[in-house]
């Protein structure tokens, strides 16, 4: 197992395409963070970006997770590396978990880090603002790691099922579009039914209206936001994401254990 992990990390460290791809996503997210603030009807700030455009924070990560997990897990099927490693004496469990577990955690971690890119970009240009508390907002964004983990485990399962990168990438694109559709059109029956619902709920702030009198504008309506996040959402996000991730990985191993690797 140790040799398999070392080999995988060595390949990733020397994969220039992975660095370029991640850099492209960083630049795109940073630009979007600036542009959305620039086109906002209200005073732009990082807090408003989180409140008004939460889908920007996770939308592109769906594609990135699909690309990264398929690269790590499905690439060796094409050149029969897994078959040769099996013939070299490694067990099926070693082959599967040495790729699936690191792929799941690494891609979720990268996606979580990239979630902060548009927020940081907007903050550096426009400031944080006073809509929401920074500490609570950061906690909410850190919790994105767990729905991302759930998503990464799903694409890891798909990679071992189909054995083709292009299928995973195509599915990642449709998942990205489908996630946006689900959150914008369908009423969420529960916070944890899908990772997309969970991600959206992590940026769902309680609000109320405050009316004030202005000498020039008359009655002005201000929207106040409650930044606190409930313990139920925190615990549910963590436990359900870990449980579903484990189910996906075990299902992937069950399939791989019986696969003839042809």
Asked if 212 and 199 touch (Cβ cutoff 8 Å), the reply is: no
Residue 261 is predicted with a pLDDT of 62
Residue with tokens 């599967």: 96
Contacts of 68 (CB under 8 A, 6+ apart): 18, 103, 106, 107, 110
Residue 88 is predicted with a pLDDT of 67
> Which has more confidence, 12 or 109?
109
Residue with tokens 């795109």: 28
Residue with tokens 């109320």: 208
pLDDT level of residue 216 (50, 70, 90 thresholds): low
pLDDT level of residue 188 (50, 70, 90 thresholds): low
Burial classification of residue 203, based on how many CB atoms lie within 10 Å of its CB (0-12 exposed, 13-18 middle, 19 or more buried)? buried
Residue 221 is predicted with a pLDDT of 59
pLDDT average, residue stretch 216-244: 80
Residue 116 is predicted with a pLDDT of 94
261: region left, alpha or beta (phi > 0 left; psi from -120 to 50 alpha)? left
Q: Tell me: pLDDT of 205 over 90.
A: no
- Mean pLDDT across the chain, nearest whole number? 81
DSSP E strands in the chain: the ranges are: 206-214, 218-226
Residue 235 is predicted with a pLDDT of 92
Where are the chain's structural domains?
2-258
pLDDT average, residue stretch 13-33: 83
pLDDT average, residue stretch 56-61: 86
Residue 112 is predicted with a pLDDT of 94
Residue 22 is predicted with a pLDDT of 85
Q: Tell me: pLDDT of 185 over 80.
A: no
pLDDT level of residue 244 (50, 70, 90 thresholds): very high
Q: What percent of the chain has pLDDT over 90?
A: 23
Segment 121-179, tens digit of pLDDT? 989 988 888 888 889 899 999 999 999 999 999 999 998 888 888 888 888 888 888 87
Nearest to 140 by CA among 59, 199, 193: 199
């Amino acid at each position: 197992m140790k040799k398999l992990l070392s080999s995988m990390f060595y390949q990733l460290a020397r994969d220039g395409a992975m660095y370029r791809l991640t850099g492209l996503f960083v630049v795109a997210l940073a630009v979007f963070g600036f542009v959305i603030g620039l086109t906002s009807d209200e005073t732009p700030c990082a807090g408003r970006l989180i409140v008004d455009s939460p889908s920007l924070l996770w939308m592109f990560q769906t594609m990135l997770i699909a690309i990264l997990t398929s690269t790590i897990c499905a690439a060796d099927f094409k050149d029969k590396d897994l078959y040769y490693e099996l013939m070299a004496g490694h067990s099926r469990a070693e082959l599967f978990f040495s790729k699936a577990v690191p792929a799941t955690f690494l891609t979720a971690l990268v996606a979580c880090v990239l979630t902060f890119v548009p927020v940081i970009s907007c903050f550096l240009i426009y400031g944080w603002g006073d809509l929401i508390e920074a500490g609570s907002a950061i906690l909410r964004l850190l919790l994105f790691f767990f729905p991302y983990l759930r998503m990464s485990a799903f694409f890891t399962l798909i990679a071992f099922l189909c054995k083709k990168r292009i299928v995973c990438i195509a599915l990642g694109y449709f998942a990205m579009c489908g996630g946006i559709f689900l959150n914008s059109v369908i009423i969420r029956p529960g916070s944890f039914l899908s990772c997309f619902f969970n991600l959206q709920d992590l940026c769902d702030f309680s609000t109320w209206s405050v009316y004030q009198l202005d000498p020039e504008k008359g009655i002005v309506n201000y929207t106040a936001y409650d930044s606190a996040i409930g313990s139920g959402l925190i615990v549910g996000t963590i436990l359900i994401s870990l449980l579903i991730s484990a189910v996906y990985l075990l299902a992937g191993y069950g399939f791989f254990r019986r696969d003839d690797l042809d």
